[in-house]
Structure 1
C-alpha cells in the first residue's frame, strides 16, 4: 500500500522534498484509524522511513473504528489523525463528520488527514470541504510524501488554532476595555474652577475589578463625588461596578437628597449582585456651592485625604503641601452587609484652597519593602511579611507629588506607588482628586483621566 503521493498533492500541499520544513520540534503524535492490519503495517513502515528521510519523528497510535478513535482522543493528546474512509462503523464522509464532531470538544484539536482510494480526488476534495485538513490517495506515496503531508497539516491546524486564540483574546481585550471605560466616566462639572483628576490602575492579575468613581455638579452648584469598590475581581464585579456608578449618577442627577443616595444604591446592589456575599464600599463627598464645606459619607470605605498648600510666611510663596486623613468616626457598614446601621455625614470645614483625594484600598495595600533598586524602605514584619503602604505612606506620596505641581499628578502618584511596590499591584487601584484653587483663581482647572492599560504601563 502507498498513501497519497508527491505526484498527487492534495489541497494546500506544501513544497516538494527539496524544501522540507523543520518547524515542528520533537515527535508528533499520530492516530491512525484503520481496520486493515496490512495497511496499518505499511503506514508504520512509511513513518519509520520518514524519520530517516524527512526528519519527522512520529509516535503512532492506532484505532480500528471511529468509536475506538474517539475513545483514544479522549485520553491521548494527538497532533494529527489519519482517517481511512472505509471503517466497520462508518464509511465515507459520515466517518469524517463523526470525527470532526468528536474533536470539536477537545481543548486542542488535532489535524485530520483522510485516506481515500479514489484516484479522481473528488472524495478527497469533498473531505477537505467537510473539515479535513488534507487527503492522501492510497497507492501513490512514499515516506517523504507522507511526512510532508502530516507536517503541513499539523502546522496549518496549529496556525488556525493560534489565529482563533488571538481573535478571542482581542475580543476579550475589547470587552475588557469597554468595561474599564465604563468605570472611567466623563465628569459632569460645569464650574471651571473645580479640578477633577481621576485614574484607574488594574491589578497585576490582569482581571478586572469593581472599582468605580464619578463626579457630578448639581444645578445649585453643589458638587457630589463618589468612589467605590465592589468586592472581588473579574467581569462580573466590573459589570456590577459600572451598574453601581450608573445608578449613583442617576440618583444624583435626579436631585435625590444626599442622605438618601446610599440607601437607594444598596437596593440596586441587592437586585443586581450575582451572589449574596458580594458587598460594596463607598465614599461619597458632597461639597457646598461656596466650596467651604463638605459632607463625607463612608459606607465601609477608607476616609478621603485633604491636601492643603503651605506658604512661606515671608513671601507668601507656595513651598509644600500638607496632606491629612479625614476622620472615619461616622463610618457606616458597607453596602450589602446584612447588619443594622445606616450612614450619616461627617462635616468638614474647608480652607480657601484645598484638594480632596478619594481612593480605593488597592493603593494602601501595596507592599513597599524595597525600592526599585532593592534598597529597603521599611523592614519586614516579625512574621516576615512585607509592610503595606497604608494611609500614612499614601499621604507622603501625595504630598511629594503635589509639591512638584498638579500636572499629571494622578498618574505620578499611581506610578510612584507601583514603583514602591516593585511591579503591578495585586489589587486594582482607583484614585480621584477633586480640588478648588480659590474664588480668585483664574483660568480653567485641570480635568484629566488616566486608564493605565497602555504598553508603556505594562513595561514599567
Structure 2
C-alpha cells in the first residue's frame, strides 16, 4: 500500500479536561480490542480516554488530527498491509511501524503484540515506539498507565530534542557572528589598536554597529566606525555588508567622497526599506602618524587624548548627513593635528546614550569626556581604558545597555 507523507503538524494539543485521545490501528473492529471494549477498560482509570479506530494507515491518516496524543498499533496486521513478497510476522510488521512513525513524528506510539512475540516487541521500541503491550495482559489500569506514560515520554523527548536543536543553532550562529567581526589589518604600523563591542539584542553577538581598521601600502591607517539605525538581525547584516564593502573599497584605493558615495549606493541597494540609514565616522591617519583626515556622516565626533592635556572632542559641526538620507551629497573632511603622542577614541552613540542613575538623564558626550579624563589620569590606556569605560557606562546605566555599542581606540606612543 502507498506510504503516507509525513505530517508537519505541531505536537498534539492538551485537552481541557485532562483526557487523552487514542488512535487504535487494527484490522478487526469486531475483535477483542475493538473501540468500545477499550473505552470500557480505560474508563476505570480516572480521566477520560477517547478512542478512534482505523483499519489501515489510510484511515489512520484521516483520523490523525491534532487532538490525538497516542497511537496504539497492532503489530499483527494481515499480509495485505505488508509490502509485496513479505509475510506477516516478519520485518514487514516493523515496516508498518516505521510508516506510522513517519506519519506521526510528534505522537506517542505504543506497539501491541502477543506475549510470544517479546523479541519483536523489544525491536519495536528500538525502532521508535515509546513502549509495547502484550495483548493477553491488558486491563484498564495497565493500558491507561501505558498511554499516559508514553505521552509524557514523547513530550519529554520532543522538548529535549528542541532544546538540543536550539543549542546547536545558537552555537552555529555564535561561530558565524564571531567570524563576521573584523580582524584589523595593521601589519607594519606602529599604531596600537583596541576595540570593545556589545550588541543591544539579547543573546546576540552582532548588532547594527560596525567598525574596521586597515593599513594600505602607502602606510596610511584607515579607521572607521558606523551605526545602522535599528537593532534587529537585518540591521546587523547590513552593518556587516557596509564594513566589508568599506574594507574592499579602501584596499582598492578609494577614499573621501568617492568611497562614501559608493557606500551609500551599497546601503540603498541592500537596505530593507528606504527609512534605513547609517551614520559613519572615518579617520585616515597619515603615514607619519601626526595628522589625520576625519569625515563625519551624521556620526558623533571622535575624542582626542594627548598626554598632559584634557581630552577634547574633534569638531563635528562641519560633517555631512548620514548615509542613505540625501542623494548626491558630499562629506567634507577636516585635517586634524594629532601630535607626537596621542589616543583617538571612536565610538557609537551606545556609549553616550546610556542613563545615569534612576532618572532619565543620559551620559552624553560631556559625561563621556569626564569619564575618560578620569580614567586616563589613573594611567589607563588601550584595552584597559576601553574595558573600564564600558564597565562604568554599564554601571551608571544600572545594567546592560539597550542600544548597540562599539568603541575603538588607536594610539601612538611618544617618539
Please indicate the TM-score interval, normalised by the length of the shorter structure: 0.7 to 0.9
- Are the structure 2 counterparts of residues 417 and 338 from structure 1 closer, same or farther at C-alpha, using a change threshold of 3 Å? same
Cα pair 2:184 2:212 within 8 Å, conserved = yes
Which segments of 5 or more consecutive residues in structure 2 lack a partner in the other structure?
Answer: 1-16, 25-33, 55-59, 82-92
CA deviation after TM superposition for structure 1 residue 163, in Å: 3.5
CA deviation after TM superposition for structure 1 residue 433, in Å: 0.7
Structure 1 match to 2:150: 153
Cα pair 1:305 1:358 within 8 Å, conserved = yes
CA deviation after TM superposition for structure 1 residue 42, in Å: 0.4
- Are the structure 2 counterparts of residues 62 and 145 from structure 1 closer, same or farther at C-alpha, using a change threshold of 3 Å? closer
Structure 2 match to 1:200: 197
Q: Secondary structure, in 3 states, of the residue corresponding to 2:246?
A: helix
Q: Secondary structure, in 3 states, of the residue corresponding to 2:197?
A: strand
Structure 2 match to 1:216: 214
Structure 2 match to 1:396: 370
Higher deviation after alignment, 331-340 or 91-100: 91-100
Matches of residues 249-288 of structure 1 in structure 2 within 5 Å? 249-288=247-286
Which segments of 5 or more consecutive residues in structure 1 lack a partner in the other structure?
Answer: 1-26, 49-57, 311-320, 371-379, 381-385, 441-460
Higher relative contact order (CA 8 A, sep 6+): 1
- Are the structure 2 counterparts of residues 246 and 416 from structure 1 closer, same or farther at C-alpha, using a change threshold of 3 Å? same
Of 287, 295, 298, 2:296 maps to: 298
Of 321, 334, 338, 1:350 maps to: 338
Q: What is the CA deviation profile of residues 5-39 of structure 1, one whole-angstrom value per residue up to 9, with x for unaligned ones?
A: xxxxxxxxxxxxxxxxxxxxxx9753222461121
Cα pair 1:81 1:111 within 8 Å, conserved = yes
Cα pair 2:39 2:50 within 8 Å, conserved = no
Of 63, 67, 70, 2:64 maps to: 70
Q: Secondary structure, in 3 states, of the residue corresponding to 1:120?
A: helix
Q: Secondary structure, in 3 states, of the residue corresponding to 2:306?
A: strand
Cα pair 1:30 1:60 within 8 Å, conserved = yes
Structure 1 match to 2:38: 39
Q: What is the CA deviation profile of residues 146-197 of structure 1, one whole-angstrom value per residue up to 9, with x for unaligned ones?
A: 4664465345434433442333233332233234324532211135531211
Distance 1:365 1:115 in 2: 66
- Are the structure 2 counterparts of residues 187 and 290 from structure 1 closer, same or farther at C-alpha, using a change threshold of 3 Å? same
Of 378, 384, 388, 1:408 maps to: 384
Q: What is the CA deviation profile of residues 26-61 of structure 1, one whole-angstrom value per residue up to 9, with x for unaligned ones?
A: x9753222461121220232x33xxxxxxxxx5644
CA deviation after TM superposition for structure 1 residue 288, in Å: 1.6
CA deviation after TM superposition for structure 1 residue 359, in Å: 1.1
Of 185, 188, 201, 1:188 maps to: 185
Q: Secondary structure, in 3 states, of the residue corresponding to 1:161?
A: helix
Of 144, 163, 181, 1:166 maps to: 163
Higher deviation after alignment, 427-436 or 284-293: 284-293
Q: How many residues align?
A: 368
What is the RMSD computed on CA atoms of the aligned residues? Answer: 3.3
- Are the structure 2 counterparts of residues 422 and 345 from structure 1 closer, same or farther at C-alpha, using a change threshold of 3 Å? same
Cα pair 1:301 1:334 within 8 Å, conserved = yes
CA deviation after TM superposition for structure 1 residue 198, in Å: 0.4
Of 231, 236, 240, 1:242 maps to: 240
Distance 1:159 1:172 in 2: 20
Matches of residues 411-430 of structure 1 in structure 2 within 5 Å? 411-430=387-406
Cα pair 2:347 2:407 within 8 Å, conserved = yes
CA deviation after TM superposition for structure 1 residue 349, in Å: 2.2
